A and B are shown apart, each in its own frame.
Chain A
Amino acid sequence: MNSSAKPYMNPYLAGVCLGLVLTGSFLILGTGLGASSGIARIAAAIEGWMLPDHTAKTTYFGAWGKSPLDYYLVYMFIGTMIGGLISAVKENRLSFQLEKGCQCSSWKRITLALTGGLLVGYASRLAQGCTSGQALTGGAVLLTGSFVFLICLFASGYAAAYFVRRQWND
């Protein structure tokens, strides 16, 4: 399927589209886009399902009540996946694979993806948002914290990039 995959969209036009979606979100919902909150809400639901008493007592998840999934960003997260799927099918880009460099073992890539996920999941909660909910959304309304977050994100990303470069070696 990959062979017939269509080329990616012009990044500048994609950026304009993304900016319009974001503006629309602000005008309709009154809030921007978000992804990590949806993930955290799902985490709260899972923890609440496994350890209901403990979760209700915790300060952070506990504050979300008995049904943490009744939240607009959970719906947005599901929407994002649906939108991604629609587009991937339409553009012939749906293919089940573990993306990595040829010289990188699967286990290494899996470990790195998991570690990255853990760090990102934690950091998104700490900073009250991720690239979507904090950097892009807050940046669009010119919030200081969002710019600070964005700068720090790229600074540490570039600083750490060297150490994990081999996962993409072909």
Chain B
Amino acid sequence: MIDTFFGLGQLDSSKALFMSLVIGILFGMVLERAGFGSSRRLSGVFYFKDMAVIKVMFTAMITAIMGIALSLRFGLVAEQAIYLNPTLYKAQILGGLIFGIGFVIGGWCPGTAAVGAASGKWDAFIFLGGAVGGSFFFNETYTWVKELYEAGNQHTAFVYQSIGMSKDWFVLLFVLIGILVFWCMELIEKKITQKSDYLNTVFLKQFSFVLLISGFSVFMLLGDPSSAAKNNESPVQSQPVETSETALLNQIENALDHIEPEELARRVIKGQQGLVLVDVRSEPEFLKFHIKTARHIPLKDLVEQLEPYRNLGMIVLYSNGMTHPAQARDVLFRMGFSNAYLLTDGLDGFINQCLRPVSLRPEPVPESNAREINQWRQFFLVSDSATAAKTPMDGLPIKGLALPGIIDAQTLFAHMNDPGVRVIDLRSQPEYNTSHIPGSLSLNVESLRGNIKGVPSCLLPAHLLAGHLSLMGIQPKTLVVLVYGEKVQDVTLVGMALERLGHANYALLSGGYLQWKALGFATDAMLPEISFSTYPDTDKDQFTIDYKAVFSHVQNKTALILDVRPQAYYTGEKSDEARAGHIPGAVNRPFDLDTVKTAETIAFKPISELAVAYETIIPSKESLVIVHCRTGHQASQTFFVLKHLLGYSRILWYDAGWTEWAARKELPVKTGTTP
């Protein structure tokens, strides 16, 4: 088994750099000998005059495909020791289209231009200069194209799987197509230039024959399914640990894998882009305290959640001490992340170095350092109300659970049979009927809404909501756990109903029903035994406002209006209502930006990420904010995020929303992207 430099994580070692140089020299020599140091010859392929580009590329691909497939098949090299580019359809389709145009206009591609320049072609130098410029331009426009660049990441996708073939058949097919293509290329050259060097020659016949034999041999060798599968799917864990340990030790020796606490503090305060700070401690520890801007990722989810940042920006891992994140970094390292760092001495070190007050330090601190320390203390210790707001209160059914809030599946599983806990499932009925969390009640969120004074889809008044809760046997002390299927806004809208009655004892099940199911917790299909209760019908709603109040805030500019509808509705390109557009002055932040779809379910993004996103929109935690959408449904989700996850204290909900605003002709409307 060959340990590649990539597999060892040593691509930046001097040995690897030297080998890269050597391989580069061979690459350059082959390209030049093939005649690719000439733009005229390269462009010939696009005018059917000289098909060498296709002949060389196709042959090279066939050779390498067979060579690598056999190397993998016979265990010469392991798949995880080979770097596999991710497949991203949008970026690669658009990139390919632009690249093709650039190729035919310029007459070069990057590798051939290097060879062209080396053989004295001025146009190759100019082309390379252009390519440098194109790279600058990409860097400068990166923030705009980032979404496209990362869109639809398929991670490692194999073409034979994508078209539903087995690997052996695909390789054989590719070789056969190759032979066909070669003969076609010769025919084309013959037709266009009246001259073909290889058509009907003994060489081409022999070459085709050799390819045919090789193709079939490889097909037979790959076809043995038992051993092939073993080789292709050997799990990461099977890789010898010493391998990565060696690499890790090597990096530690060169101190390439650490970041000092002070350095981290400076970078965080500066707001360095691309810095991803990851807390790998347990969730309770994270909720109690974490370094501001950090996100919590459990070790098992690390690779998946950090995938978008693989070798992009800087990933800093921390725990209390050093062991825990070192393991985490080891894992990332083996998965090909070269941009993961450890925080020296972990959180303990950070607190000690950056956050300990100057007065409590054993050694005297110079004044400039003292200023910096105070700045850090100011930044990292003050105003992180997302966590401060979540300090648990007494008298709640589950210790340590802040309400309203989020409950994880494990905690719910431990308490689902407690008498004070009621689980409400908001999925539609057929889904509930087939399988649900044992003891949970089905509720259609629409039954809590109705027409109020002509405005459709408004949350029912308190006394009607109280009636609903009574029918479900809920009492003011009951902990209501709300379960969503794929629409988080369903549970947050029920949350609004509960809050209208002053019922703060509710929590959303983290990840919803799909997460529960994915984690393998019990489900059944029985209806629960429920007896009626009498829920008091006092209206404690202080957060719903009507259009008159909204209009007054618009006129006096006394509140920030957050329109959470999709952008096309905000701008007015799309409309299902009396008028298109948005409330003048309203800022658009689509509600679905707060959630993330994972393989298993849909869930809120990490709190740290949400906090950063809203910090740029809302001036302070005490700012008055009005959230609205079309009917109040989606806005309930943003309400929950702002008020209960991020600790914004003054959030109002314009329930009637755009449906009403658009229909009242006396109210002003604005279209376009600006507030």
Contacts and interface: CB of A to CB of B under 8 A. Distances in A.
Contacts of A27: 2, 4, 71, 76-77
A91 B272 CA distance: 51
Contacts, number: 562
B567 to A, nearest CB: 22
Interface of B: 2, 4-7, 11-12, 16-35, 37-41, 43, 46-47, 52, 55-65, 67-69, 71, 76-77, 81-89, 91-124, 126-140, 142-143, 145-146, 148-149, 154, 156-162, 167, 170-171, 182, 198, 203-204, 207, 272-274, 311-314, 339
A73 B114 CA distance: 13
B549 to A, nearest CB: 41
A18 B24 CA distance: 11
Interface string A113-153: 11111111111111111111111111111111111111111
A55 B118 CA distance: 29
A19 interface: yes
Contacts of B6: 29-31
Instruction: Identify the 6 closest CB pairs spanning chains A and B, nearest first.
Output: A116-B106, A117-B130, A79-B24, A121-B134, A19-B63, A15-B59
Which secondary structure dominates where chain A touches chain B? helix
B130 A15 contact: no
B608 to A, nearest CB: 18
A29 B2 CA distance: 10
Contacts of A125: 134-135, 138-139
B654 to A, nearest CB: 36
A32 B30 CA distance: 15
B68 A141 contact: yes
A28 to B, nearest CB: 6
What bracket does the count of chain A residues touching chain B fall in?
35 or more
A91 B20 contact: no
Interface string A44-77: 1011000000010111111100000011110111
A103 interface: no
18 contacts: A26-B77, A82-B21, A114-B126, A117-B133, A119-B99, A120-B127, A121-B130, A122-B98, A123-B98, A128-B92, A130-B99, A131-B109, A143-B159, A145-B92, A152-B92, A157-B103, A160-B105, A161-B46
Contact of A20 (B25, B67, B149): B67
Contacts of B18: 75
Contacts of B116: 84, 99
B100 A18 contact: no
Contacts of A80: 24-25, 27-28, 31, 111, 114-115, 118
A113 B127 contact: yes
Nearest to A164: B105
A30 B154 CA distance: 21
Contacts of B204: 12
A83 B143 contact: no
Given A26-B4, A79-B27, A113 B107 contact: yes
A95 interface: yes
Contact of B97 (A23, A129, A155): A155
Contact of B119 (A16, A93, A129, A160): A93
Interface of A: 8-12, 14-33, 35-36, 38-40, 42-44, 46-47, 55, 57-63, 70-73, 75-88, 91, 93-101, 109-110, 112-161, 164-165, 167-168
B55 A12 contact: yes
Contacts of A85: 28, 118-119
B115 A84 contact: yes
A158 B99 CA distance: 12
Contact of A117 (B55, B89, B126): B126
Contact of A82 (B100, B103, B118): B118
Contacts of B105: 112, 115-116, 119, 160, 164
A69 to B, nearest CB: 10
Nearest to B44: A168
Given A75-B24, A144-B162, A44 B4 contact: no
A81 B28 contact: yes
A40 B64 contact: no
Which secondary structure dominates where chain B touches chain A? helix
Contact of A87 (B28, B65, B77): B28
Given A10-B203, A86-B25, A110-B123, A30 B4 contact: yes
B108 to A, nearest CB: 7
Nearest to B142: A60
B45 to A, nearest CB: 8
B135 A31 contact: no
A163 B227 CA distance: 52
Given A131-B111, A161-B104, 14 more contacts: A20-B64, A55-B139, A62-B274, A63-B311, A75-B17, A84-B37, A86-B29, A87-B28, A114-B133, A121-B131, A123-B94, A125-B134, A130-B111, A133-B85
A72 B311 CA distance: 14
Nearest to B94: A126
A136 B57 contact: yes
Contacts of A167: 107
A35 B146 contact: no
Contacts of B143: 59
B552 to A, nearest CB: 42
B91 A126 contact: yes
Nearest to B51: A11
A109 B122 CA distance: 10
Contact of A121 (B22, B28, B132): B132
A28 B43 CA distance: 32
Contact of B95 (A10, A82, A126, A136): A126
Contacts of B77: 26-27, 30
B118 A84 contact: yes
A155 B113 CA distance: 21
B167 A142 contact: yes
B111 A35 contact: yes
Given A63-B313, A99-B38, A132-B109, A73 B127 contact: no
Contacts of B25: 79-80, 82-83, 86
A113 B123 contact: yes
B82 to A, nearest CB: 5
B57 to A, nearest CB: 7
Nearest to B89: A148
B154 A83 contact: no
A39 B112 CA distance: 12
Contact of B56 (A14, A20, A84, A158): A14
A59 to B, nearest CB: 5
A170 to B, nearest CB: 10
A126 B145 contact: yes
A60 B141 CA distance: 9
A149 B130 CA distance: 21
